[in-house]
Amino acid sequence: MNSELERDPTFDVGEANFEAVVLAADRPVVVAFHAPWSRPCHILEVTLDAVTAACADRVKVVRINADDHPELSLSYDIQSVPTLLFFVAGKLAGRMVGTASKAAILDKLQAIFPGKSPSP
């Protein structure tokens, strides 16, 4: 991951800051549930960097280590990683399971926000 994101304390989310970072966010949030042992999660990290760069001023992208935060994983019925959850105004608005392309993620965002394109 790029060092700027690693320094950002909101990029890695857990039980302690989930409500403030995700549910109370002033913009849509993409939450990536991942695990450090998962090759597909490592592949998706590059894509998430691209999504973050493309729409950082309109959409927040954060990640949650599913192994370190099982309560959140159970709360949102995470059955495999990677899983992306899309939140709008604190409400779950969409879900994608598995790896996805930048285009697929941006298309999903567009579907969730018709008329208010979060993509560049």
Give the CATH number for residue 53: 3.40.30.10
Does 76 fall in a domain?
yes
Does 52 fall in a domain?
yes
DSSP of the chain, one letter per residue? --HHHHH-TTTB--TTTHIIIIIT-SS-EEEEEE-TT-HHHHHHHHHHHHHHHHHTTT-EEEEEETTT-HHHHHHTT--SSSEEEEEETTEEEEEEES---HHHHHHHHHHHSTTS----
Does 42 fall in a domain?
yes
pLDDT in tens, 76-102: 999 999 999 999 999 999 999 999 999
Confidence of residue 116 (pLDDT cuts 50, 70, 90): low
Does 119 fall in a domain?
no
**Residue 108 structural domain:** 3-112
Confidence of residue 6 (pLDDT cuts 50, 70, 90): very low
pLDDT in tens, 12-48: 899 999 999 999 999 999 999 999 999 999 999 999 9
Does 66 fall in a domain?
yes
This prediction's pTM: 0.87
Does 120 fall in a domain?
no
How many distinct structural domains can be found in the chain? 1
